[in-house]
């Protein structure tokens, strides 16, 4: 060994004037950094050479947790909820695009056509036409569960537009970091996203249903006997609207949680609703077996609602099978949603 191995790292901190960061004082200083490496690979005892480097600075940053007063949990959840819901009506919240807003407005107007027709024929005295559009057991069922145009054009597309980027964009762009850097747990995050979509669907479906029912009472001057007879049907139909909103939201958000874009959840929701119904209807037409309708979310909900409202059944299998199907479909969708939300990172994936 020709030269004596040496490695020197002098450290002479030069501390500037005291600066406060939270409750700690950062350590700043300067040091002369040197490096050593082998000069000859053939020697059994390698020598070391020392190379000096320019002076640098060492900084120490200490994270201090927030020690102030936090808003209550309900207020944080309300902030998430209004961010999504109020974005439909006003600026400063979630920036829903113009086509989504226009389609929702169109659906609300289109859902009130039976209201206008019932009032029109009732006021002009057309009893036969009023019986077609007026409030009765079959019409209230059709107002919520009517396949055409409501559940083939209106409600699935509205749900698809709402759930498209609800969670998938948070996963793709790392927006979840903004949520989870606050004192917001994953249950609150998922539940407020779910409630946001379900509330918009609820206002469209059950809001227009309530307008349909109460407008007929006020304008047509219905008496208490008529109200007592029809109010249980209204409550049953109202419950059907809640089940429909819950089911579409659960399926849509579960698809959004496994995606990173807006296209797949939207198309996937419409494909599941329409594809399963088309498959079940083909099997029913060929083999006269309606049991396959239990795989269709729309038909399973429709069958349960027929039993709740008391209207004529259009399915041959027991409605309890459809009730079990609704529970299983929603359970699987919520499980998938919870599992994917639990894997959301606080950084961009």
Which one, of 22, 2, 114, lies nearest residue 62 by Cα?
22
122 occurs within a structural domain? yes
The mean-pLDDT minimum among 94-108, 170-184, 321-335 falls in: 170-184
Cα gap 213→208, rounded to integer Å: 9
**What was the pLDDT predicted at 278?**
95
Which one has a higher pLDDT value, 233 or 176?
Answer: 233
Tell me if 98 sits within 8 A of 195, measured CB to CB. Answer: no
Q: Which of 39, 64, 89 corresponds to the end of one domain?
A: 64
147 occurs within a structural domain? yes
348 occurs within a structural domain? no
85 shares a domain with 58: no
Residues 114-132: tens digit of each pLDDT: 999 998 998 888 888 888 8
**What was the pLDDT predicted at 255?**
96
Counting the structural domains of the chain, the total is: 2
347 occurs within a structural domain? no
133 shares a domain with 17: no
Q: Which two tokens stand for residue 303?
A: 């069958």
Residues 180-204: tens digit of each pLDDT: 877 889 999 999 999 999 999 999 9
The residues facing 30 across adjacent strands are 57
Q: Which two tokens stand for residue 240?
A: 């059907």
The total number of residues written for the chain in this structure: 349
Range of the domain at 27: 1-64
290 shares a domain with 199: yes
SS3 at position 197: helix
């Amino acid at each position: 060994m020709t030269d004596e191995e040496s490695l020197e790292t002098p450290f002479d901190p030069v501390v500037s004037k005291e600066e406060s960061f939270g409750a700690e004082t950062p350590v700043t200083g300067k040091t002369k950094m040197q490096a050593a490496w082998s000069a000859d690979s053939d020697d059994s005892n390698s020598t070391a050479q020392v190379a000096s480097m320019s002076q640098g600075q060492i900084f120490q940053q200490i994270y201090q947790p927030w020690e102030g007063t936090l808003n209550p949990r309900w207020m944080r959840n309300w902030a998430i909820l209004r961010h999504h819901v109020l974005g439909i009506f006003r600026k400063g919240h979630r920036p829903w695009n113009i086509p989504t807003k226009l389609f929702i407005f169109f659906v609300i107007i289109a859902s009130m056509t039976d209201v206008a027709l019932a009032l029109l024929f009732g006021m002009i005295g057309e009893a036969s036409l009023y019986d077609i559009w007026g409030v009765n057991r079959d019409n209230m069922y059709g107002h919520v569960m009517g396949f055409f145009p409501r559940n083939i054009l209106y409600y699935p597309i509205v749900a698809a537009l709402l759930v498209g980027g609800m969670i998938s964009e948070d996963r793709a762009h790392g927006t979840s970091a903004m949520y989870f850097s606050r004192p917001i747990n994953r249950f609150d995050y998922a539940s407020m996203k779910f409630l946001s979509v379900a509330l918009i669907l609820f206002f469209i479906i059950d809001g227009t249903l309530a307008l349909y029912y109460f407008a007929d009472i006020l304008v047509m001057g219905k008496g208490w006997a008529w109200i007592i007879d029809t109010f249980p049907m209204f409550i049953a139909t109202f419950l059907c609207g809640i089940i429909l909103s819950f089911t579409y939201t659960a399926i849509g958000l579960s698809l959004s949680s496994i995606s990173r874009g807006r296209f797949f959840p939207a198309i996937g929701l419409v494909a599941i609703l329409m594809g399963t119904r088309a498959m079940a209807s083909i099997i029913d037409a060929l083999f006269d077996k309606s049991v396959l309708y239990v795989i269709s979310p729309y038909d399973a909900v429709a069958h349960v609602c027929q039993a709740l409202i008391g209207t004529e059944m259009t399915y041959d299998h027991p409605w309890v099978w459809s009730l079990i199907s609704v529970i299983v479909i929603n359970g699987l969708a919520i499980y998938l949603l919870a599992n994917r939300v639990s894997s959301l990172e606080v950084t961009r994936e």
